[in-house]
Structures are given as C-alpha cells and as structure tokens.
C-alpha cells in the first residue's frame, strides 16, 4: 500500500509539477483513507468503502473545502492506479465533488499593517527586525508565505527594486519591491550578518534552529501573532495569508490593472484574482448602507 502511495506522489511531483504542500496534502488524505479501510488493501477498495469513509469524516466537522480536497485526492490516486494498470476499475470514478462557495479573503487596513510593523521594529533585536522586513515584503509585494520564508539572499535586485520569486510549480516571476522596504532590508542585513556570524547561509531570512536553514512558515506565523498582540491587533484578524490578501485588496481599491495583479500574485487563472473585486463591491455596498441618505431616512423611520 505504502509503495503505491509513494509512486503516486512521485508521479505528481515529477509529471504534474505539484507543489510540496500539495504533495503533503495528497499523502495525508490517502493515508487517512487507507487507515479507515484497514485491513482491506487500498487497491481493493470499493465505491462503498469510499462512501462510508466520506460519511465518517463529514461528522468530524471538516469544512466543504477540506472535504472537496480529500475527494479530489482519492479520485486522483485511483485514476493513477488505473493508468498504471494496478486496478481495472476506478472505484472513485463516480465521486461527486461538493460545490465550495468562494469566501472573501480577510484583509488588514494600511493603518493596522503600519502598527504591526512599527511594533516589530521597535524591539531592536534580530527576530523583530527580521519580522518587520518580512511583513512589509508580504504586504508590499504580495508574496506567499512559502515564497517569503525561502527567499534566497540574492533574490532581490536592489538597483531595479525587484524580487525574483520561485513560486508554485517551480514557476518564476518578478515582482517590484518598494523603496521603503529596500531601505529596511539594508538595515536588516546588518542584524543578519551579526546573527549568522562566521556561518554561511544562502537564505535572506536564516534560522539557526531550523533544519531548513531558514525561518519556517510556523515560526513566522507564531512571531506574527506575538507582534499582533503587542500591537493591539486582534489575532483572529492576523494570518500570513491576510498580508498577501491585503496587498491585493489595496491594489484593487486603487484601480490597479487586474492582469498586473494576477502576475504579481502568481495566479494561474484570472478568476482567482477576480475575487478581490468582490471585496471592493462588498465594501461599496457597506458604504452605501452606512451613508446613503435613503438608508439614513429608513433608519430614522424605524427608530421612530
């Protein structure tokens, strides 16, 4: 069983160019299903086995998005087994993926981001100065957290103020970086040199304790939460992806070209980027409800 899963993951990595996080999700989902049907071999599973598994996990509070992903993982796995002639019939072929409604991304205001950055920078230690730069990079350039933590030291062209990013599926893209952030990076590099000392590191944001050699996603998230608490920002509003969403929302609200935003975010499809236009529409709707004279009149009449 485990060999089949490994072969499937290898195929998705080599042939499909799937990202590391996607590969981990595939493996976790399929191994979870395998444990459910044990001692039955995974290649001998039936459609009823899969249905029973889905009924079971639906009771565990998984979101529709998570359920949809698990169904997709199982379907892709059995499609692979069939293509390799390990099985003749695909038990997951008739699986229906539940529709997942698009939720609007949360975002922080410019004032909230400035407050978080000011709090980080005020500590004047390596970890805090590093966080200040990382937060500003996400907010000003729209990087994914996985791209941010693994930035090589030479990824930034300081003269052109551009960053070369290795994104999903090992696809490269170039995004601009602001003059203010470049200034902060130069200040940070002095702290970085003192931090690494005689050691060598190819990473812009090194970590001595991390096996990867750079700060981890979890480490960044943990530090971000701590800074948010000190800044008086509710931690429920703060997440690494929120900074990326805030970048895109700010550009949309300032009438930036949607195709340009798509390129900067590294989205495959423009439809993924278009979700940020809904944020603007929802914001306008809220403004109308709050300030339009007819709304005010209706409110007065209801109060009376």
Token digits of residue 259 = 């195709």
Contact between residue 38 and residue 46 where contact means Cβ atoms under 8 Å apart? no
Active site residue 239: no
Q: Which of 12, 244, 245, 250 is catalytic?
A: 244
Active site residue 40: no
Q: Which of 27, 114, 241, 263 is catalytic?
A: 241
Active site residue 291: no
Residues 108, 77: Cα–Cα separation, whole Å? 39
Residues 83, 15: Cα–Cα separation, whole Å? 13
Q: Which of 173, 225, 263, 267 is catalytic?
A: 267
Using alpha carbons only, what angle is made at residue 244 by residues 243 and 245, rounded to the nearest 5 degrees? 90
Active site residue 276: yes
Q: Which of 12, 75, 136, 168 is catalytic?
A: 168
Q: Which of 121, 136, 144, 245 is catalytic?
A: 144
Closest CA to 103 of 241, 219, 223, 256: 241
Active site residue 241: yes
Q: Which of 53, 188, 195, 276 is catalytic?
A: 276
Give the residue ranges of DSSP H helices in the chain. Answer: 2-14, 20-37, 47-58, 64-83, 110-122, 126-141, 145-149, 179-196, 217-231, 240-253, 258-265, 270-273, 275-291, 293-303
φ/ψ of residue 215, rounded to 5: -60, 140
Active site residue 168: yes
Residues 270, 289: Cα–Cα separation, whole Å? 30
Closest CA to 266 of 248, 242, 240: 248
Q: Which residues are catalytic?
A: 144, 168, 241, 244, 267, 276
């Amino acid at each position: 069983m485990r060999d089949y899963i490994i072969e499937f993951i290898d195929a998705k990595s080599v042939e499909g160019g799937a990202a590391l996080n996607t590969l981990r999700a595939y493996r976790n989902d399929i191994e979870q299903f395998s444990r459910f049907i044990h001692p039955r071999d995974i290649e001998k599973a039936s459609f009823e086995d899969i249905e029973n598994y889905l009924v079971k996990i639906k009771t565990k509070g998984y979101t529709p998005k998570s359920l949809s992903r698990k169904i997709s993982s199982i379907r892709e796995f059995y499609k692979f087994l069939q293509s390799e002639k390990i099985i003749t019939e695909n038990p997951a072929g008739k699986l229906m993926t539940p529709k997942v409604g698009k939720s609007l991304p949360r975002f922080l205001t410019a004032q909230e981001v400035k407050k978080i950055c000011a709090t980080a920078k005020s500590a004047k230690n390596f970890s805090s100065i590093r966080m200040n730069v990382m937060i500003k990079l996400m907010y000003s350039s729209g990087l994914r957290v996985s791209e941010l933590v693994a930035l090589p030291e030479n990824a930034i062209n300081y003269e052109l103020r551009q960053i070369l990013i290795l994104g999903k599926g090992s696809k490269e893209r170039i995004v601009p970086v602001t003059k203010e952030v470049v200034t902060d990076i130069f200040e940070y590099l002095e702290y970085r040199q003192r931090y690494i000392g005689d050691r060598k590191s190819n990473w812009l944001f090194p970590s001595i304790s991390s096996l990867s050699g750079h700060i981890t996603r979890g480490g960044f998230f943990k530090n971000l939460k701590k800074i948010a608490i000190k800044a008086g920002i509710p931690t429920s509003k703060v997440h690494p992806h929120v900074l990326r969403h805030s970048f895109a929302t700010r550009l949309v609200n300032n009438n930036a070209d949607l195709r340009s935003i798509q390129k900067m975010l590294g989205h495959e499809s423009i439809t993924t980027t278009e979700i940020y236009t809904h944020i603007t529409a929802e914001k306008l709707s809220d403004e109308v409800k709050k300030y339009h004279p007819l709304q005010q009149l209706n409110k007065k009449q209801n109060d009376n």
